Structure 1
Amino acid sequence: MPTKFNNVLGTIGNTPLVRLTRLAPPQVNLFVKIEAFNPMGSVKDRLAIGVIEDAERSGALRPGQTVIEATSGNTGIGLAMVCAVKGYPLVVTMAENFSIERRKMMRFLGARVVLTPAALKGTGMLAKAVELAQAHGWFLCRQFENEANADIHSRTTALEILGAFENDRLDYWVTGCGTGGTLKGVARVLKAQRPETAIVVCEPDNSPTLGSGIVQARRADGSPVDSHPSFRPHLMQGWTPDFIPKLTEDAVALKLIDKIVPVNGADALRCARELARAEGIFTGISGGATLAGALQISAAATTGANIVCMLPDTGERYLTTPLFEGVGVDMTTEELEISRSTPSARFDAPASAAAPIVQQPPAAAEPVASAEVADFVARVIGDAEQPLVMFALEWCEFCWAVRKLFAICRIPYRSVDLDSTAYQRDDRGGQIRAVLRERSGSKTIPQVFVGGEFIGGATETLDAFKDGRLQRLLAQHGVLVDESIHVDPDSLLPGWLHPR
């Protein structure tokens, strides 16, 4: 692969195939295709560039036109990347029950995320996307029906797999099913060029939309009329929406599927966790589910069989889902015991005489503030145009707690970041701190002032907000706070302050 690219879009695809050495039965070769190696961490990066560039070529997408799509998250993240590079505004509709990390990532990339009620399922977020596209003249990607979704997999994913097994047998290809683009696009190429390869599709055992054999009712454009009668809510985000996508139905009609494997949600979680701990490979619930299906195939496969299993994304999309249930942020009992096995740097005991003595360097002399710096501090604190000022440090978590409060409440303020490059020359940051110590009597940072009055540090500022004193002071100086915004200031403090 080349190592230089004109932009990040050139890094999509060419993801690795990795043989599992500990989880797979020894008599077979089980390879996983790790789509997390795509730049935004999922197989849907391929879909995103395929759909957008096809629309550009056909003229369906005009320069500067807004793109919109309904997505469980990964498609939206891929589209956000592509649209950022190409300069298209992006709106995503997404059911509220999908993981929070996904909506944050899309917004971080510049997309706008419109949530729909969980009770309306996938058809609800799809209907909202169609409605918005029609109302505003936006380009709707239609990932579930768009042939460009399947085409990109025929041109890339399928050829990558064939190239890896050019001189070797390929017995099974195992995939999950979301939009149907990966399934249709890869399966039709494998069937044409390697007809001996069995195509295996996994779906949730409690939501067997394909396995039911019941046809999906759909409109002339291929979109679903309503939820499929066999759909039930399940754990595998990105798999099996509450309807059978047109691209998936195409794969069925073309007789591309050799076997459907039902997968239990608990097995999906278990396999994702075991894959991380036994093989060092990080995937999400849908990847764990596909692996669970591939392990079922492996158990019955003949000796020497080569099996390829798709892992569609990274586990980082699932931090707030059941996949990470029981994975805490605080130390476990075992970890506490490890900490207690040596005397230093412990939370449960004061510094011990038995702890090793570390020679501390002599304290640096406190800088002496110049008259110019003292005058600067006085002018900043007394600035009637910007009565709220915070003297802060860029890296400090307590400073960020105050910043978050001001941002949530849309309160204008000035921040003087003492560790920034602007205040490094001649140790201006240190000189300012010396002036602040003299003025407020406090050595800590941040220090917050309103109209020249010292409020305090982070906790004092948050307390002043809770009891309304901060709002009253701001109002006296012409700064009004929106009373309709409700926030628990204590929730903004660093998480490690919470009791263990």
Structure 2
Amino acid sequence: MIKQLINEDSYVQIGDLCSATIQLKIEGLNPAGSIKLKTAHALITDLEIRGLINHKTRLIESSSGNLGVALAMVCAAKGYQFVCVIDPNISAPNRKLIHALGAQMLMVDQRDENGGYLNSRIRLIEQLVADNADYIWLNQYKNPTNPLAHYQATARSIARKFPQVDYLFVGAGTTGTLMGCKNYFAEHHPHTKVIAVDTVGSVTFGLPGGTRHIPGLGTSRLPEIFESSGIHDFLSIPEEQTIKVCRWLAQRYGLLFGGSTGTVLAGIRQWAPHIRPDDVVVAISPDMGERYLETIYSDDWVTQRIGATALQPLFPEIALALSA
């Protein structure tokens, strides 16, 4: 049932950020509200096929929010116990959704050595799994089923929709979507340039770790599934730019997207000098923005955590002209 509800065919065209029209693949239009429903369904189905789940099993995973919601939904539909290890960056709506779907949550509030929470979350999971044989860690960071889900679904659906793709922009979180898309296009459409987009403070691209406030993209621990070969380029985006793009999208197009989408589109804006008007540019939007109303769309939250400059318009010259 869950698999039938996954939406693969929704796109919207975005202009202004580069000379070409951006084909934005909207992944938030499914019951879980994010691309992570594909990951969650694939991870659990793989365990079922291998006969590893029984009535005593407690599935456990670390999540900044969206995968937690998706796993809670799939587990509820299948009657499995699920424990989600979260941190303070999780949005209030995601936390409430996970609770409403019947999952247990464990909060980690101690930052790790790279300034994030991921290593702290994983250390707790490793301890719980070592102490209790009924726990199974889904491990999205190491499990090859994660990228395989996006190889078989996300990337394949893009290739069916657009026979020619010049640039594919993909955000890097656990890198499951990124690796699945990179592997598929390298095999079937090697002319496509896959551009990975991450957030400043993430260590995935070998840059220094640091404090991050927006969940979704970025990590304080290199995922085992990540492999850099075959990626055309890597972009690192400050959270201030993420917020500006998200707010611009809402006011320019009437579309409310999550922080991961804002980061990916900010990456396209940064890469714009390399893009020609006739290029086919596809970007993946992982989730919608309703769950971020109290964070990236809150002036107080943005001012306190990112700074007041993040509230300034993305295109000041346009805002000035409209106010004149």
Same fold (TM > 0.5): yes
Q: Distance in 2 between matches of 1:292 and 1:306?
A: 17
Identity %: 28
1:324 aligns with 2:319: no
Aligned to 1:11: 5
Deviation at 1:15, TM superposition (A): 4.1
The aligned counterpart of 2:231 is 257
- Aligned partner of 1:187 in structure 2 is 182
Relative contact order, CA 8 A, sep 6+: which one is greater?
2
Aligned counterpart for 2:125 among listed residues 129, 132, 147? 129
Tell me the number of residue pairs that the alignment of Structure 1 and Structure 2 aligns: 296
Alpha-carbon distance in structure 2 between the residues aligned to 1:298 and 1:31: 14
| Whole-angstrom CA distance in 1 between matches of 2:88 and 2:109 | 6
TM score, norm. by length of structure 1: 0.57
Question: Counterpart of 2:14?
Answer: 20
Query: Structure 1 CA distance, aligned partners of 2:202 and 2:34?
Result: 23
Judge conservation of contact 1:13–1:46 (CA < 8 Å) in 2. Answer: no
Summarize the Cα distance change of 1:38–1:256 in structure 2 as closer, same or farther, 3 Å threshold.
farther
| Aligned residue in 2 for 1:238 | 216
Quote the Cα distance in structure 2 between the aligned partners of 1:277 and 1:62: 49
Which residue in 2 is equivalent to 1:156?
153
2:198 equivalent to 1:203? yes
Letter in 2 for 1:126: I
Per the TM alignment, residue 58 of structure 1 is displaced from its structure 2 partner at its CA by 1.1
CA drift of 1:19 comes to 1.3
Of 75-84 and 276-285, more deviation after overlay is shown by 276-285
Which residues in structure 2 correspond to 1:163-312 (within 5 Å)? Answer: 163-166=160-163, 169-207=164-202, 209-212=204-207, 230-248=208-226, 251-252=227-228, 255-312=229-286
Q: CA contact under 8 A between 2:86 and 2:106: conserved in structure 1?
A: yes
Deviation at 1:75, TM superposition (A): 0.7
CA deviation vs aligned residue, 1:89-114 (integer Å, no higher than 9, x gap): 11111112322221111001111111
d(CA) in 1 for partners of 2:55, 2:230: 37
Q: Structure 1 residue 324: deviation in Å?
A: 2.1
Q: Which residue of 1 aligns with 2:135?
A: 138
TM-score (norm 2): 0.86
Cα distance change of structure 1 residues 81 and 270 upon mapping to structure 2, 3 Å threshold:
same
Distance in 1, Cα, partners of 2:148 & 2:140: 12
> Against the structure 1 CA distance between its residues 13 and 246, is the aligned structure 2 distance closer, same or farther, given a 3 Å change threshold?
farther
Cα contact 2:195–2:235 (8 A) shared by 1? yes
Give the corresponding residue for 2:288. 314
Cα pair 1:48 1:79 within 8 Å, conserved: yes
Distance apart, 1:317 and its partner CA = 2.1
Flag the 1:106–1:15 CA change in 2: closer, same or farther, 3 A.
farther
C-alpha distance after superposition, 1:21-76 (max 9, x if no partner):
4x344x41211111111221111111000000011111222245221111111111
Q: Secondary structure at the match of 1:33?
A: strand
CA distance in 2, matches of 1:185, 1:47: 11
Deviations 1:115-147 (A, max 9, x none): 011424111111112222232221110010001
CA distance, structure 1, for counterparts of residue 21 and residue 272 of structure 2: 8
Where structure 1 has 5 or more consecutive residues not aligned to the other structure, the ranges are 1-6, 213-229, 328-500
